[in-house]
Amino acid sequence: MSTNVTATIEIAATPERVWAVLTDLASYTQWNPVFCGASGQLAVGNRITLTTTQPANGRTMNVKVKVLAVEPATELRWISRVLGISTSKRSFLLSRDGGGTELRQTGTYEGLFTRFPPKTINRIETSFEAINQAVKEQAEALQRAASD
């Protein structure tokens, strides 16, 4: 059993600028609407810690994810497992689109308790769209600053 969620956005910035935003974990606290903290080294095989707030109760939760892919200006992908009963994979794919970038964020959820009701899928989609929009704003600001 698996559930897939995807959100795509067009960004008026180069893939390199989008990549700079995505991979600057220390800055997540300043702009990321879902991950209010992130730490660790983005290298294949490494574990990073993401801090998020649970929407249901407002409690902060730390999630350790294993980095699966770090392809500069192309792909960032990680995986997390919960007690061996479910797996969550997240990827950020960047592709050049004219003078800008298409960012496609995908989440794949497999295992027990991953057949989500529509309300949960909607909440996940909304969080993906919020992250994409925040990445867009940050990357376009970097692009403008580089052009000045």
To the question of pTM greater than 0.85 for the whole model, the response is yes
In 19-72, beta strands by DSSP E: 35-39, 47-53, 60-71
- Owning domain of residue 16: 2-147
- Angle at 82 (CA atoms; ends 57, 18), nearest 5 degrees: 75
Q: CA-CA distance, 139 to 133, in Å (whole number)?
A: 10
The 10s digit of each residue's pLDDT in 46-64 is 999 999 987 667 788 899 9
Q: CA-CA distance, 1 to 141, in Å (whole number)?
A: 40
The 10s digit of each residue's pLDDT in 74-86 is 999 999 998 778 8
- Counting other chains too, the contacts that 52-61 makes at CB distance below 8 Å and 24 or more residues apart are 55/123, 60/36
pLDDT of residue 56: 67
The 10s digit of each residue's pLDDT in 24-51 is 999 999 999 999 999 999 999 999 999 9
pLDDT of residue 89: 96
CATH number at residue 143: 3.30.530.20
Q: For the residues 115-130, what does the mean pLDDT come to?
A: 91
Size of the chain in residues? 148
CB burial of residue 139 (10 Å; 0-12, 13-18, 19+): buried
Q: What is the number of domains present in the chain?
A: 1
The 10s digit of each residue's pLDDT in 80-120 is 998 778 899 999 999 998 889 999 999 999 988 778 889 98
pLDDT of residue 95: 97
Which residues are paired to 38 by β-bridges? Answer: 50
